[in-house]
Amino acid sequence: MNFCSQCGKPVTQRIPEGDARLRHVCEHCQTIHYQNPNIVAGTVPVWGEQVLLCRRAIEPRLGYWTLPAGFMENGETVEQAAVRETLEEACARVRDLNIYTLIDVPHISQVHIFYRAELIDLDFQPGIESLEVQLFDEADIPWSELAFRTVGRTLECFFADRRQQVFPVRSESVPPLTQPAK
C-alpha cells in the first residue's frame, strides 16, 4: 500500500500506539489501514457417490480442477458465499450445507472454508470461470491436476470420512511450499 484510501496522501509503515503489529498509517489523516486475511468459501457438491469438480478457466491454475469456491463478498455469510460460488462456477444449486473443512493458509493470508453439500439436481454447466464441470467417482478424481492443496486435502478427508460415515468439522493449516535446494 502506498497511498491512503481516505485522503490520498502517502502512507508509512509503523506500529501504531496501542498496537503490536506493523500497519500502514496515514500521517496526514491518521487513518490506520488494517489488512486482514481473505476468506475463500466453497462446497463439496455431492450427487450419490460422486463429487462435482470444475476445471478452472482463469488464473491462478488455469486448466486445473477445483471444488467450486471463491472469495467471500462483504455483506454475505460464509454459507451464502459458498452457495453463490457454486452457482457462479458450476451453475449448480446445492442444499443441506454442513461446514466441513476450515483450512488456514497464513502464508498467503487466506482461510479456506468448505461445506459438504448435496446437489439439488443434475442441471449444472460451466460458469464463466470454468472450462468444464464434471461429476467424479473417488477412483476418477484427477489428483495430480487439482488446482490447490486445500482442495486436495478437503477431498482426501471427505473420501476417508465417507468410508466411516462420520464427518467431523476439520480445522488445519497448510504450510508454504518449500523450494527444492539448488
**CATH number for 22:** 2.20.70.10
Q: What is the pLDDT of residues 145-168, one digit of tens each?
A: 999 999 999 999 999 999 999 999
Q: Is 116 found in the same domain as 74? A: yes
Domain count within the chain: 2
Once rounded to an integer, what is the mean pLDDT over residues 72-101?
A: 98
For residues 172 and 168, give the distance between their C-alpha atoms in angstroms, rounded to a whole number: 12
For residues 68 and 88, give the distance between their C-alpha atoms in angstroms, rounded to a whole number: 8
Residue 171 lies in a domain: no
Q: Is 98 found in the same domain as 59? A: yes
Residue 182 lies in a domain: no
Residue 57 lies in a domain: yes
Q: Is 73 found in the same domain as 146? A: yes
**Across the chain, what does the average pLDDT equal?**
96
Q: Is 10 found in the same domain as 43? A: no
Domain containing 105 — which CATH number? 3.90.79.10
SS3 assignment, position 96: strand
Q: Where in the sequence is the domain holding 121, given as residue range(s)?
A: 38-165
Per-residue pLDDT band for 139 (boundaries 50, 70, 90) equals: very high
Q: Is 148 found in the same domain as 66? A: yes
Positive/negative CA dihedral, 28, 31, 37, 40: negative
What pLDDT is attached to residue 122?
A: 98
Residue 2 lies in a domain: yes
What pLDDT is attached to residue 182?
A: 58
What pLDDT is attached to residue 178?
A: 78
Residue 63 lies in a domain: yes
Q: What is the pLDDT of residues 24-71, one digit of tens each?
A: 999 999 999 999 999 999 999 999 999 999 999 999 999 999 999 999
Q: Is 133 found in the same domain as 90? A: yes
